[in-house]
Copies of this chain bind each other. A is one copy, B any other.
Amino acid sequence: MTQPPSIAGDWRAAAKLITRIESGDASVAAELKALYINGRRPAVVGITGPPGAGKSTLVDHLISHYRARGERVAVLAIDPSSPFTGGAILGDRVRMSRHNTDSGVFIRSMAARGRLGGLSGATGDAITVLAATGAEHLLVETVGVGQSEVEILRHAHTVLIVQTPAGGDSVQAVKAGLLEVGDVFAVNKADIAGADRTVNALLESVEFRYGRHGAEVWRPPVLKTQASEGAGISELIAAIDAHRRHFEAYPDQLATKLRSQARALLIERLAEALRARYARADGSQQRFEFWLEELVARRTDPFTAVANLLDAGPVRGEVAHGR
């Protein structure tokens, strides 16, 4: 095995690698393999919330805070809402631009259009790259849209969910599925009417989910922030630090979380690899083509085709059990 290319401290090399990941350049895998195996894994903070919730402004504050400590920060902004065009959230780059001239900060949006291993896989690969730069902090920001968001957040040790005060008579304080992955909740734009009600609804949800547990189970704090004014930021940073210390106190919990995340991420990569393999209509995948024809001719059914394709065995002599 050759020595991996060192990209420590080299934002420019990182940017080039991420561009290759984003464009689906398969040749980048060789470098990624080496960076992954030889790499460290810094704590990753994932940030999500609906568009306009103020995520980028909060990220901006986090950057300033870590920079004041002299630590380097890499930010990856992922937009899973445009699977076809891969429209990146360029606006965020602009908003965070006051850090653009700071050599201790790297900000990158990623669209992952022709992606290796799906959007989640591409995110993981970009994190591998950013980790290799040696940055002390990795922030992954993603806009809140359905399942993709949750998959991207599987890369984070600490997940910050940003909400805005709910208007109307909405009873749901946080989108289903996010309560389970959130480690810290921030109700931003706390000057808007309804902020307290949203905070209370979130507190109730957290209490319902975590209330019966003791101190060994992390109970996600719910904070009010007003990012545009800088209000509540120090409490937010303290909460993120506290979550990190919780894992230091309970390393088994971190190991369990990482293994569970790795499982889900590996399954997604497999699913994506399977898609890429069978999408070719060139007949090179005999078993698949055989069952596809059986299905189209209605000589078998989808359940039987799937069961046979997932179990190994020769094509010759196969029968459609569904008949």
A residues near B (Cβ < 8 Å) are: 1, 29, 32-33, 36-37, 39, 80-85, 117, 121, 124-125, 145-148, 175-177, 258-260, 262-267, 269-275, 277-279, 281, 288, 291-292, 295-296, 298-307, 309-310, 312, 322-323
Contacts and interface: CB of A to CB of B under 8 A. Distances in A.
A156 B302 CA distance: 17
Given A1-B323, A83-B146, A32 B301 contact: yes
Contacts of A147: 83
Say how many copies of this protein the assembly contains.
2
Tell me what chain A mostly uses at the interface: helix, strand, loop, or mixed: helix
Contacts of A175: 84
B270 A310 contact: yes
Q: Which among A82, A288, A303 has the highest number of chain B CB atoms within 10 Å?
A: A303
Given A83-B146, A146-B145, A177-B84, A303 B32 contact: yes
Contact of A274 (B81, B259, B274, B322): B274
Contacts of A307: 273
A263 B278 contact: yes
Given A302-B117, A302-B266, A310-B270, A322 B37 contact: yes
A29 B300 CA distance: 13
B277 A263 contact: no
B296 A258 contact: yes
